[in-house]
Amino acid sequence: MEVQIEESWKHILQSEFDKPYFEKITNFVKSEVRAGKTVYPPGKLIFNAFEKTPFDKLKVVIIGQDPYHGAGQAHGLCFSVQRGIKPPPSLINIYKEIERDLNIAPPNHGCLEKWAQQGVFMLNSILTVRANEATSHSKIGWETFTDAVIFKISENKSGIIFLLWGNFARSKKTLIDMQKHFILEAAHPSPLAGNAFSGCRHFSKTNELLEKQGLQPIDWDLKN
């Protein structure tokens, strides 16, 4: 199947695009749109994480679960919302931890594209959702695809830092070669987890691991 995706990812993932399950995903999403359903994110942004973080630039992986299902929110990067949209509660808690960890004050927006452009790959396990219906596309095959993405990152790269927040993200550990990569685990930043995410210091720890490998640390400051 011919999929419009950033070229370095296309090379890595072509074997998945050619499998029957991926055609079923494509047909399902198209059928939703034909039936008059609103699907988020918009079609051109479904693979935005791949576009913003080419495979050969990837340094850090953050794993989310489901795209935001409100109007104008989802744009293909987990935890991120488009400019002009109020940052959701989980993202606010991420900003609080960055301020606690690195003394960086939070920005006035929720767009994380600056991180993506520096090599932070923000992957939702499910890449589409029906408007106002959380996890409505959770059984159409996306998890098979994104599990393959995580496995191929593990297989083809080394020294990647995986940030696994919450039990769902932690369940992906089995796809990662822990002899080749770094895994940092924490509670989910959602307020439903109380303050359990607070104090994880994943942002400074990530930069320490990058610097030990001779790599440029991530500038987590989104205000500039």
Whether 219 is a known active-site residue: answer no
Closest CA to 86 of 100, 104, 71, 98: 71
Strands of 45-198, DSSP E = 60-64, 120-124, 129-130, 161-165, 182-186
CA-CA distances (angstroms) from residue 185 to 148, 165, 170, 182, 221? 21, 6, 7, 10, 22
Which are the contacts of 169, defined by CB distance < 8 A and separation ≥ 6?
A: 63, 64, 65, 163, 188
In the chain, the amino acid numbered 111 is: C
**Catalytic residue among 18, 56, 66, 219, which?**
66
88: Cα within 13 Å, side-chain hemisphere: 19
DSSP single-letter state for residue 177: -
The encoded tokens of residue 109 equal 């927006």
DSSP single-letter state for residue 14: H
CB 76 within 8 A of CB 48: yes
Point out the residues that are catalytic.
66
